[in-house]
Structure 1
Amino acid sequence: SIPITIVDAFVTDDAFTGNPAAVCILPPGGCDAPGVESRFLDIASEMNLSETAFVAPIEDPESTAGWMLRWFTPGEEVELCGHATIASAHTLREKGLADATDPIVFRTRHRGDLLAVRTDGYESVGLPASPLEEVASPDRRLFEGLGIEPGRVVRTLEDDLVLVLDDPAVIERMTPDMRVLGAVKARGIAVTALARNRPDGASVVSRYFAPNVSVDEDPVTGSLHASLGLLWRGDLGPTFLTWQGGPRGGRVRVDATTADEGIVRVAGRARLVLDGAFLG
């Protein structure tokens, strides 16, 4: 059996908010054993969440990282996942496998080492960020699939396309056509706008769709917010609160203070909602 949790990341005070991720805790070397990918995909498919994380301790005394971390959607392995990293750090702390206040360093296959810390009840992680690329001739299916007029589009380090809108209300009422969006070449498709007088204090709103990686709509996307830190810091300064909408919704604190060094920190509250074992 494999110890497994489900953690909602970037939650509000309400239940059933934020983005749920499954976290499987493996023995040393469990993330790198030959042939584990097919097993991980099967487990991720069984869990049927946007991402399932797999963590295993690193026993090398010379390693600067304490844990190996990989992420899988129901359809494939992904190179970076913010909310499942938050969920993994929260799981390790809540189960007593990591100190509540000590930093946790995760080693990843594609994005180097990620530093996760807990401050005042918020789990945070520094995510890689690089300058955004303006898309001069966006695929018309982006706008067709979202049901909006053509506008500004930027591409991120993670190969997401981000559509920058003027009206946040358009984002909330959007009903995308996943069949059309699935034909667009990108990891995911995000929409974002500056917020207007939200009672929760959020300055930015967004949503995120990723049918190409078997996730029609991701409830709250941590890695996207590294890019939003770059996108909106000129308007808002380096730190701000965001709301990612959709059926669940959640809040993310963004800190782009070190963005010029290639790191944007994203933070949120996390809630352990299931603790058990995978027996399959």
Structure 2
Amino acid sequence: MTHPVTNPTAPSALPSEVLHYTAFSTDPAGGNRAGVVLDASALDDAEMVAIAAELGYSESAFVTPAPQADDARTFRLRFFSPKAEVDFCGHATVATAVALGEQLGAGDYTFLTNAGPVPITVTASGEGLRATLTSVPPQVYDVAPDDVAEALAALDWLPGELDAALPPRISYAGVRHLVLAAATRERLADLDYDFDRLLTLMRALDLTTVQLVWRASETVFHVRDPFPVGGVVEDAATGAAAAAFGAYARELGLVPEQATLTLHQGHDMGSPSLLEVTLREGEPGVRVTGAAVRV
């Protein structure tokens, strides 16, 4: 299904309809879906959010030529949830990069987002195209005990169900996420939260998602991401939160300065996703890699 978008004033070689991709999966039945408009030049903000709302995906991406860019592979990229614009979205970035790779070829791209420039590398593999984004420089913040208590109350989690080795923090790698670590896989799997109560807290703390994690091994984690601020109960794959979590793990010394983390997401939703997070010594940004396929 496509949604035609005409653009009479700015002819382009790129498609102007809404393309449908799922990111962080090579299986169309898995991953997190995103709409991608490769030529959104004729759309205003209201039309973009209306398209995102009609699609109903957690986010959709809208591409326009980058102003005053000398590089033909530099684009302005904006993201909209069904409710509002989002400064940065990882899964829609990966979906857009793969869509552009299919049109223009593998290689390096730059996306100019509201959070800042995001370099992208698209590579070919035996299972199709993969994209690696490098986040803007991340930051990790302490979180007030009262805010943690309110988040746990909204989630219906008990303080004793947290993993003390992974303390709560707010982490930013384009947008802000509250990281909470469950002590058991069973606790993570049982997610039934108070949507409005968590939404209120997230708005107060300027959060995009809550990154719920369970550590399976030194570098393997299972994650879930409630996203009520976008009008979505849960994200099936969240690249922005994956980047923020990589920054969190590095800041707290949970992993080496140079490491590759594997994040499994979406399994409890029936939409398995695989996210690879790479930390490089001396590189402030966090790399997130995943596949994307058209659906």
| TM superposition score normalised by structure 2 | 0.80
**Partner residue, 1:103:** 108
**Partner residue, 1:177:** 194
**Partner residue, 2:123:** 118
Give % identity.
Answer: 27
**Partner residue, 2:222:** 205
Query: 2:78 and 2:265 mapped to 1: Cα distance?
Result: 24
Query: 1:63 and 1:193 mapped to 2: Cα distance?
Result: 41
Query: 1:119 and 1:183 mapped to 2: Cα distance?
Result: 42
Amino acid at match of 1:114: P
Q: Is the 8 A contact 1:108 1:114 kept in 2?
A: no
**Structure 2 residue matching 1:183: 3-state secondary structure:** helix
- How far apart are 1:59 and its partner, in Å? 7.3
The 5 Å alignment of 1:1-280 reads: 1-2=4-5, 3-11=17-25, 14-26=27-39, 30=41, 36-58=44-66, 60=68, 62-63=70-71, 66-94=74-102, 96=103, 98-99=104-105, 101-118=106-123, 120=125, 121-139=129-147, 140-150=149-159, 151=162, 152-157=167-172, 158-184=175-201, 185=204, 186-195=207-216, 203-233=220-250, 234-237=253-256, 238-245=259-266, 246-247=268-269, 248-257=271-280, 260-273=282-295
Query: 1:5 and 1:160 mapped to 2: Cα distance?
Result: 28
**Partner residue, 1:278:** none
**Structure 1 residue matching 2:35: 3-state secondary structure:** strand
Amino acid at match of 2:96: S
**Structure 2 residue matching 1:107: 3-state secondary structure:** strand
Deviates more, 1:82-91 or 1:234-243: 234-243
- How far apart are 1:180 and its partner, in Å? 2.1
Q: Is the 8 A contact 1:135 1:154 kept in 2?
A: yes
The alignment's C-alpha RMSD in Å is 2.3
Query: 1:209 and 1:219 mapped to 2: Cα distance?
Result: 9
Deviates more, 1:249-258 or 1:129-138: 129-138
**Structure 2 residue matching 1:115: 3-state secondary structure:** strand
**Structure 1 residue matching 2:116: 3-state secondary structure:** coil
Aligned length: 259
**Structure 2 residue matching 1:132: 3-state secondary structure:** strand
- How far apart are 1:15 and its partner, in Å? 4.0
- How far apart are 1:255 and its partner, in Å? 0.3
Alpha-carbon spacing, 1:153–1:47, altered in 2? closer, same or farther (3 Å): same
Query: 2:294 and 2:186 mapped to 1: Cα distance?
Result: 32
Q: Is the 8 A contact 1:64 1:105 kept in 2?
A: no
After superposition, the C-alpha distances for 1:87-133 in whole angstroms (9 at most, x for unaligned) are: 00111122x2x21x221111223322432332534221111242311
Query: 1:129 and 1:18 mapped to 2: Cα distance?
Result: 26
Amino acid at match of 2:264: W
Larger RCO, structure (CA 8 Å, separation 6 or more) = 1
| TM superposition score normalised by structure 1 | 0.84
After superposition, the C-alpha distances for 1:213-240 in whole angstroms (9 at most, x for unaligned) are: 2122111100001122123343344212
Q: Can you give the 5+ residue segments of structure 2 that lack an aligned partner in the other structure?
A: 6-16
Amino acid at match of 1:38: A
- How far apart are 1:64 and its partner, in Å? 7.7
Q: Can you give the 5+ residue segments of structure 1 that lack an aligned partner in the other structure?
A: 274-280
After superposition, the C-alpha distances for 1:66-103 in whole angstroms (9 at most, x for unaligned) are: 21110000100010000000000111122x2x21x221
Query: 2:233 and 2:223 mapped to 1: Cα distance?
Result: 15
**Structure 2 residue matching 1:6: 3-state secondary structure:** strand
